Chain A
Amino acid sequence: MDLEKLFTARLYAARARPYLATALFALHPVESRYVPTMAVDRHWRCYVSPAFVARTPVEELASVWVHEVSHLLRDHHGRSDRVARQQELTGRGERLRMNIAADFEINDDVYGDGLAWPDGAVQPKMLGLREGELMEDYLRQFRLGPYMQDLVWLDCGSGADGLEREWDLGPEGANGLSDHEREAVRFRVAQGINAHPGNVPKGWRRWAEEAFHPPQPWRELLGTAIRSAVSGPGVGEDYTYGRPPRRSAGLPGVILPSLRRRPPRISVVIDTSASVSDAELGSALLEVAAIVRAVGGRRDLVSVLSCDAAARVAQPLCRAEGMTLVGGGGTDLRAGIAKALRASPRPNVIVVLTDGQTPWPRERPASRMVVGLFSRPKRSYESDPDYVPDTPPSWARTVEIG
């Protein structure tokens, strides 16, 4: 095998993408006559076909190096396994589909800017799909068909789709990286990108941000925040020594605690300054209703306060969910919160759904507060360039939605 050509390509790849250098050098090349081109396994070995090296120009080889290491950095084998297990996808065809989807995810922004397009690299637009999506998204959007005959030879190895190949050396083979070592390499690459995000393409920046802190689904977080607010001490179910329970009679001299159930009262305050989409608001409000039901709040204990813009969405939803919609409020969120607090009896928990473009109460209200914040990019049409909307106060639990 022309090792000099192969290593020249790696050297060039590392120069063109300095932030991937650690990962490129951590790959261990293994000569193999079984692989069609180049393929990786999950232990960070790179199987290389001598014939492929001989017929491919150095600049394209460099791009293939970057392509293969991208599969490993983005954990495509682990993600393929998870998808396969969740959706019960079996067989080589499905794994080929995963390989193609993974290639789509990589190829839309790794080339260019010094890296040549390798011959035969697949792109999402070949199937009429949008660029910039994740492997899991692509996987839902296409099936294998006769028009994809050209792609069947595509094989990036078990490192790309999780399916063991006959040429794989396996976990016991030489020069593999252990779990911990793989994590360490991925961490160093992510750290390098986060430290100098300047020239790094968007896809890699997103990867680096999420590699070790995957974004949590907002539904789960909002659910936890509301559930913990309604089941905290003093709300909902708890023990009390207030009145001896009946079974105390059997144990004279011993005071047993008793369980008291106090269903929580919840007010949902919706603030929309016309920038929250109906779909977002609807899904958030439905989520709140579902959580409230799940924690045992009776429907009559949930009320919704809304301003006019939101009433259009909130009203039918509330009617369907059996919640009471209490008249419209102002656009100032403080008025809505004050109104919710004036209700008698006072709600235990106030859930605020807002895009954050609002002043907040200075004082901590007597009720717990959970803020569902629709994340918005900074708006540019503010007349005052120094205008910064207040962030939700620290005493409220804040969950970013969407």
Chain B
Amino acid sequence: MLSSVHASRLEVAGDLLSLLRDTTTEPRTDTQLEALTLAVAADLPVLLWGEPGIGKTAALQQLAEALDLPLTTVIASVHEPSDFSGLPVVGDDPAAQGVPMAPPDWAVRLARGGRGLLFLDELSTAPPAVQAALLRLVLERRVGALRLPAGVRIVAAANPRSSAADGWELSPPLANRFVHLQWRHDHDVVVRGLGGTWPRASLPWLDPERLPEAVTFARRAVCGLLTARPDLVHRLPNNEAHRGGPWPSPRSWEMALCLTAFATAADASKDALSMLVRGTVGDGPGLELLAAMDRMDLPDPEALLADPATAELPQRGDLRQAVLDGVVAAVRKRPEKERWDAAWALLVRALETGAPDLVVVPASTLAALRRPDWKVPAAIERLAGVVSLGRKADEVAARVAG
């Protein structure tokens, strides 16, 4: 080509670069990004934990685009504490006017714009005084004398303790104020991305119709769990391995409640909610909350007993058994002939739509609840196979023991 003859070497280099940058995107569910978006939308302080160079900044760019916010990245380790707590400027008469703490330019620009996404990267490689100033910025949204407006969202990132060079870690009280998100790279995503196709995550969107329902659901889930398990409310981490990570306290439960409401309103995936809740109150309490929510999703035994003919039982075996056990327990609590019959009808339905071994234990428990004047329902005939299944299992037990 004639033009390439005249093109300078730098222009050719430019062409090559633009070819390299010419990548496409493909839709892909990204649980990490989904969780991050929800936490940022809920305006809670987020701390991303991840090894350097795994694409945290790229994720933040995508997030800023999705939320339509200008992104400001501040690499903490190249700044001084005064960049975050403000430079003391001595005026004419310090005794009368005080010493104002002047904020840096990026903070002024953010405040003037009124909205933006501030990303504080490499928190853990900054010297201690810088970290202290940064934490105040994240938690109180203050830079010197300047207060960042509500439209500014802040995300911080740190390297895990094992790879932080100078032993940076959060004290438990500080750790309790953050939503901790573990950021990992996905091997497939990286390889495909280097091949020219990066993922494009569809970000959650809050449904205005569902807001009141989401709040009710979140309150019911958290309060229900904490009523039943009062010792989960506050548990200071007592061993070295859990220092600086998420742990349960009334403050972090409040954050978990807020995140649950956001995830419900956005109809986010359970995996994203799991990441968020476990990153807020810790693994154990977080999993208990999620288990409690799963149980809330199960059909109500009373509703099933009221209308066994059209009952929808969960497909998963363990959940199905939990439901059937719940139905039998409900009959035991208030034993009446109609309820007993309805429970049998439900068991027959369970047998017709799923594995028979799940029905054995509820069936024998239900049979034991029979009152002398109750007539055996015709439906029991169809459970004969189940009875034989239970009997065979007994025979196996006898053989193995003998």
Q: Cβ of B317 and Cβ of A28 under 8 Å apart?
A: yes
Return chain B residues, CB-CB under 8 Å to A294. 165
Q: Cβ of A25 and Cβ of B358 under 8 Å apart?
A: yes
Chain B residue at minimal CB-CB distance from A25: B317
Stretch at the interface among B58-66, B84-92, B371-379: B84-92
Q: Cβ of B357 and Cβ of A10 under 8 Å apart?
A: yes
Q: Cβ of A212 and Cβ of B316 under 8 Å apart?
A: no
In the complex with contacts A184-B291, A231-B167, A257-B82, A216-B357 CB distance below 8 A: no
Complex CA gap A137/B308 in Å reads 52
In the complex with contacts A25-B358, A177-B316, A228-B168, A12-B397 CB distance below 8 A: yes
Q: Cβ of B161 and Cβ of A224 under 8 Å apart?
A: yes
How many Å from the CB of A256 to the closest CB on chain B? 7
A to B CB contacts below 8 Å, 15 in the list = A3-B356, A7-B389, A10-B357, A184-B290, A221-B241, A224-B164, A228-B167, A232-B128, A233-B128, A238-B128, A253-B89, A256-B87, A257-B82, A397-B240, A398-B240
Complex CA gap A245/B237 in Å reads 41
The 6 closest A-B pairs by CB, nearest first: A227-B167, A25-B317, A228-B167, A180-B270, A11-B357, A7-B357
Q: Cβ of A185 and Cβ of B169 under 8 Å apart?
A: no
Return chain B residues, CB-CB under 8 Å to A58. 392, 396
B86-104 residues at the A interface, CB under 8 angstroms: 87-91
Chain A residue at minimal CB-CB distance from B283: A212
Q: Cβ of A183 and Cβ of B274 under 8 Å apart?
A: yes
Return chain A residues, CB-CB under 8 Å to B401. 114
How many Å from the CB of A194 to the closest CB on chain B? 10
Return chain B residues, CB-CB under 8 Å to A62. 396
Q: Cβ of A215 and Cβ of B167 under 8 Å apart?
A: no
User: How many residues on B have C-beta within 8 angstroms of the other chain's C-beta atoms?
Assistant: 60
Instruction: Write out, one digit per residue, whether chain B residues 367-402 have a CB within 8 A of any chain A CB (1) or not (0).
Output: 000000000000000000100111011001101110
Q: Cβ of A187 and Cβ of B168 under 8 Å apart?
A: no
Complex CA gap A27/B400 in Å reads 24
Judge whether B318 is part of the interface by a CB distance below 8 angstroms. yes
Q: Cβ of A255 and Cβ of B88 under 8 Å apart?
A: yes
Return chain B residues, CB-CB under 8 Å to A21. 318, 321
Given contacts A25-B317, A228-B167, 9 further A-B contacts (CB under 8 A): A9-B396, A14-B357, A23-B318, A183-B287, A224-B161, A224-B164, A233-B129, A294-B165, A295-B166
Q: Could you count the A-B residue pairs with CB atoms below 8 Å apart for me: how many are there?
A: 166
Instruction: Write out, one digit per residue, whether chain B residues 231-271 have a CB within 8 A of any chain A CB (1) or not (0).
Output: 00000000011100000000000000000000000000111
In the complex with contacts A185-B318, A398-B240, A114-B90 CB distance below 8 A: no
Return chain A residues, CB-CB under 8 Å to B320. 25
Judge whether B162 is part of the interface by a CB distance below 8 angstroms. yes
Complex CA gap A257/B84 in Å reads 13
Instruction: Write out, one digit per residue, whether chain B residues 337-376 have a CB within 8 A of any chain A CB (1) or not (0).
Output: 0000000000000000001111010000000000000000
Q: Which of A12, A115, A183, A184 contacts B393 (CB 8 A)?
A: A12
Q: Which of B90, B91, B400 contacts A59 (CB 8 A)?
A: B400
Q: Cβ of A213 and Cβ of B241 under 8 Å apart?
A: yes
How many Å from the CB of B139 to the closest CB on chain A? 18
Return chain B residues, CB-CB under 8 Å to A254. 87-90
Secondary structure call for the B interface: helix
Judge whether B80 is part of the interface by a CB distance below 8 angstroms. yes
Judge whether A15 is part of the interface by a CB distance below 8 angstroms. yes
Q: Cβ of B316 and Cβ of A26 under 8 Å apart?
A: yes
Judge whether A83 is part of the interface by a CB distance below 8 angstroms. no
In the complex with contacts A11-B357, A184-B290, A227-B166 CB distance below 8 A: yes
Complex CA gap A114/B398 in Å reads 9
Q: Which of B283, B392, B399 contacts A213 (CB 8 A)?
A: B283
Complex CA gap A11/B386 in Å reads 11
Judge whether A29 is part of the interface by a CB distance below 8 angstroms. yes
How many Å from the CB of A160 to the closest CB on chain B? 20
Return chain A residues, CB-CB under 8 Å to B399. 59
Complex CA gap A8/B356 in Å reads 9
Complex CA gap A223/B167 in Å reads 8
Q: Cβ of B390 and Cβ of A11 under 8 Å apart?
A: yes
Q: Cβ of A8 and Cβ of B392 under 8 Å apart?
A: yes
Judge whether A56 is part of the interface by a CB distance below 8 angstroms. no
Q: Which of A11, A180, A227, A239 contacts B127 (CB 8 A)?
A: A239
Return chain B residues, CB-CB under 8 Å to A233. 128-129
Return chain B residues, CB-CB under 8 Å to A315. none
Return chain A residues, CB-CB under 8 Å to B357. 7-8, 10-11, 14, 25
Q: Cβ of A228 and Cβ of B400 under 8 Å apart?
A: no
Complex CA gap A228/B165 in Å reads 10
Instruction: Write out, one digit per residue, whether chain A residues 221-254 have a CB within 8 A of any chain B CB (1) or not (0).
Output: 1011111111111001111000000000000011
Complex CA gap A12/B273 in Å reads 36
Judge whether B284 is part of the interface by a CB distance below 8 angstroms. yes
Q: Cβ of B355 and Cβ of A399 under 8 Å apart?
A: no
Q: Cβ of A257 and Cβ of B287 under 8 Å apart?
A: no
Q: Cβ of B80 and Cβ of A184 under 8 Å apart?
A: no
Return chain A residues, CB-CB under 8 Å to B318. 21-23, 25-26, 185, 188
How many Å from the CB of B399 to the closest CB on chain A? 6
Judge whether B294 is part of the interface by a CB distance below 8 angstroms. yes
Instruction: Write out, one digit per residue, whether chain A residues 257-296 have a CB within 8 A of any chain B CB (1) or not (0).
Output: 1010000000000000000000000000000000000110
Judge whether B315 is part of the interface by a CB distance below 8 angstroms. yes
In the complex with contacts A11-B360, A295-B166, A179-B271 CB distance below 8 A: yes
Return chain A residues, CB-CB under 8 Å to B288. 187
Q: Cβ of A4 and Cβ of B356 under 8 Å apart?
A: yes
Q: Which of A221, A227, A255 contacts B90 (CB 8 A)?
A: A255
How many Å from the CB of B239 to the closest CB on chain A? 8
How many Å from the CB of B298 to the closest CB on chain A? 13
Q: Which of the listed residues B168, B356, B385, B388 has the most CB atoms from chain A within 10 Å of its own CB?
A: B356
Complex CA gap A23/B316 in Å reads 11
In the complex with contacts A58-B396, A183-B287, A212-B283, A175-B240 CB distance below 8 A: no
Return chain B residues, CB-CB under 8 Å to A238. 127-129
Q: Cβ of A220 and Cβ of B161 under 8 Å apart?
A: yes
Complex CA gap A243/B110 in Å reads 32
How many Å from the CB of A58 to the closest CB on chain B? 5
Q: Cβ of B385 and Cβ of A4 under 8 Å apart?
A: yes
Chain B residue at minimal CB-CB distance from A229: B167
Judge whether A116 is part of the interface by a CB distance below 8 angstroms. yes
In the complex with contacts A178-B271, A187-B287, A226-B167, A11-B389 CB distance below 8 A: yes
